[in-house]
Structure 1
């Protein structure tokens, strides 16, 4: 690919350890809170600290891609670093919220497929908390829908999720594959009720599902309860 086009090329990557050809890369990666990632941005022969306020190493990669494009357009590295540090995710895309009982919620309900779920589970696996997954159906997966959902349950278990809460007929297979701590609910009201009982300040809940699953309703109900609890404390 790089030989096909004769224009000047920029290469970016997470680390320069395995390649000396990178123009844009990150070093000194450190993890803070769930949504905090700290790293040093390297662009050509310059560097600048970045505090990325979205979770996941994949978002560092996304940030480096954006940095490479900005550098190619002539933007100063300080401006690039400031832009990355002030970036906020769009609604329902790895959005970190307060949940009931002091819990944290990762709202990734914009859409779901096996690949995006796998990345979101990686983010959850880094958390030193009780890791919970609330999963709605993943739509439009064709003839392999059942197997993809069963695979999701196994992946969640293997990546350290402590409990899986499933709602939707396809997600039933995820709960079954997850094992003893996997539970299927007949509807969102039942799921929300159980989560309100289970969530506490030691828990992080990832909520995921296709748009047709409307899992944002689960997030909204839990976030509303968190706000009510906060108002009671400050009353």
Structure 2
């Protein structure tokens, strides 16, 4: 085969690798909300951005290229050129991961993702064009400079994690205009629906569960539309409003997520809520918020944006939410389990088991009713109380609220029981663990009287400076409940291990594995009939050991 054909085949092979490599980095920046700053932080901490194999290959190719230029100069030596081409192909094969990794949250080719993907190809094409123009200036016969071209292609391949940033910068003005268009369209649509009541829900945790609960209860009386899954950004909510919200609906429930000050204000101006709920405030997303005070300020933006006749609903048992409730002079509803004399809606006589919970729902007027729910954990009682508070504000009776509560189904990956029929019970709490949720999961696990208790966890993330301390305390709590512990990731779970060790836990019952596959294998070695296995948290795809 002629050298020219091998060279052009190599370029085609390079294009294929770029397609797959850029797709991976598109996924990673999508997980970071297309924010370049957050994505850069991921690059700095991730081994996947610049893998060790890629660095080794780059060093080897650099040494060989320099040696080849010194040894042969720019003379056309077909054997040398062929060998360099072969080495280049081997380097690509050595560094490219041909095995498609399973993702917890798959890449979604939204219109924005498609535009960014195309923009990224334009960046690669421009870099390729510049490379060829430089070489063309230097020599009439491009094949003589083939090693230089291949080396340049490897550099472009090496810099794919950075190219997606350049591509994102290019499309940012376009995205801003598109976002403003759909945001304004959704905003005007909401304003035009005078009979619509919007319920805004925010909090450090419990937002999604509360949204599903509110939706189920309110459907006892109203026609309700809620944002699906974890749609809690301006573009996600705008999409729902523009495509799904019609005048047939009487209630719109919007979950509101935030990573920066001002995020909730933007969502509130979009959805125009008349009822606002703050479910909780805790040390989540501290990597971006920096401190609890900023989180409090951001969550309170929802209450500030309520109209003068709006209703603010607070979880009064949360110390940070309580402070916000106490400074609020709009109409408000306080819910909780403690200091009931100060509460508008509360629960007593709570009985929590592995099958669900029962409790007495009460209000400050003295009305009460016994309720039953399939949901597990004390923290879900708080979420139900939030739902009951909204229902009460919108005129539902206690009987309607009770009926709605009984219909609430467990949400996947949020403390729901799976019985596969093998004699082993699985508790799936794999979604985005936090200190309160982790304690609730352990409480549910402790309710089981038979069988050994096994936990599989990679620990908690996105807690900023408090992450190590929270995971150490988590380890101590685990030691009080579990018979066996499988920790996923040695470095990240070190604080949990230390907490277990310091509490006197038997280290022979602690197993540290690299990934979930190894955890499953280890589980199969130790698990027996009647055992209960808790999966607590599953790290996002952009987190690694």
TM-score scaled by length of structure 2: 0.35
* 1:88 aligned counterpart, secondary structure: coil
Match of 1:35 in 2: 355
Question: In proportion to residue count, which structure has more strand?
Answer: 1
- Relative to 1, partners in 2 of residues 1:164 and 1:213: Cα closer, same or farther, differing over 3 Å? farther
Cα distance in 2 for partners of 1:132, 1:213 equals 24
What are structure 1's unaligned runs of at least 5 residues?
215-235
Q: Does 1:174 align with 2:502?
A: no
Following TM superposition, by how much is the alpha carbon of 1:155 offset from its aligned partner in structure 2, in angstroms?
Answer: 2.3
Q: Is the 8 A contact 1:135 1:209 kept in 2?
A: yes
- Relative to 1, partners in 2 of residues 1:45 and 1:150: Cα closer, same or farther, differing over 3 Å? closer
- Relative to 1, partners in 2 of residues 1:160 and 1:75: Cα closer, same or farther, differing over 3 Å? same
Q: Which moved more, 1:5-14 or 1:177-186?
A: 5-14
Of 451, 454, 477, which residue of structure 2 is paired with 1:155? 477
Listed one character per residue, the Cα deviations across residues 96-144 of structure 1 (whole Å, up to 9, x for unaligned) are 1114631221111111234432332232233324221101243334466
Q: Is the 8 A contact 1:139 1:210 kept in 2?
A: no
* 1:211 aligned counterpart, secondary structure: coil
Of 383, 389, 397, which residue of structure 2 is paired with 1:68? 389
* 2:333 aligned counterpart, secondary structure: coil
Q: Is the 8 A contact 2:352 2:358 kept in 1?
A: yes
Q: Does 1:131 align with 2:453?
A: yes
Q: Is the 8 A contact 1:31 1:37 kept in 2?
A: yes
Cα distance in 2 for partners of 1:74, 1:133 equals 43
Cα distance in 2 for partners of 1:173, 1:151 equals 8
Match of 1:192 in 2: 520
- Relative to 1, partners in 2 of residues 1:70 and 1:103: Cα closer, same or farther, differing over 3 Å? same
Following TM superposition, by how much is the alpha carbon of 1:24 offset from its aligned partner in structure 2, in angstroms?
Answer: 1.8
Q: Is the 8 A contact 2:456 2:533 kept in 1?
A: yes
Following TM superposition, by how much is the alpha carbon of 1:203 offset from its aligned partner in structure 2, in angstroms?
Answer: 1.9
- Relative to 1, partners in 2 of residues 1:26 and 1:173: Cα closer, same or farther, differing over 3 Å? closer
**C-alpha RMSD over aligned residues:** 2.7
- Relative to 1, partners in 2 of residues 1:9 and 1:63: Cα closer, same or farther, differing over 3 Å? same
Q: Is the 8 A contact 1:135 1:166 kept in 2?
A: yes
Q: Is the 8 A contact 1:172 1:184 kept in 2?
A: no
Following TM superposition, by how much is the alpha carbon of 1:88 offset from its aligned partner in structure 2, in angstroms?
Answer: 1.4
Which is higher, the Rg of structure 1 or of structure 2? 2
Listed one character per residue, the Cα deviations across residues 131-164 of structure 1 (whole Å, up to 9, x for unaligned) are 211012433344665554443322211x322111
Superposed, which structure 2 residues align to 1:87-166 within 5 Å? 87-99=408-420, 101-129=422-450, 130-142=452-464, 145-157=467-479, 159-166=480-487
Match of 1:227 in 2: none
Question: In proportion to residue count, which structure has more helix?
Answer: 2
- Relative to 1, partners in 2 of residues 1:75 and 1:176: Cα closer, same or farther, differing over 3 Å? same
Cα distance in 2 for partners of 1:114, 1:10 equals 25
Cα distance in 2 for partners of 1:31, 1:149 equals 25
What is the aligned length?
A: 210
What are structure 2's unaligned runs of at least 5 residues?
1-323
- Relative to 1, partners in 2 of residues 1:2 and 1:133: Cα closer, same or farther, differing over 3 Å? closer
Q: Is the 8 A contact 1:165 1:175 kept in 2?
A: no
Q: Does 1:14 align with 2:337?
A: yes
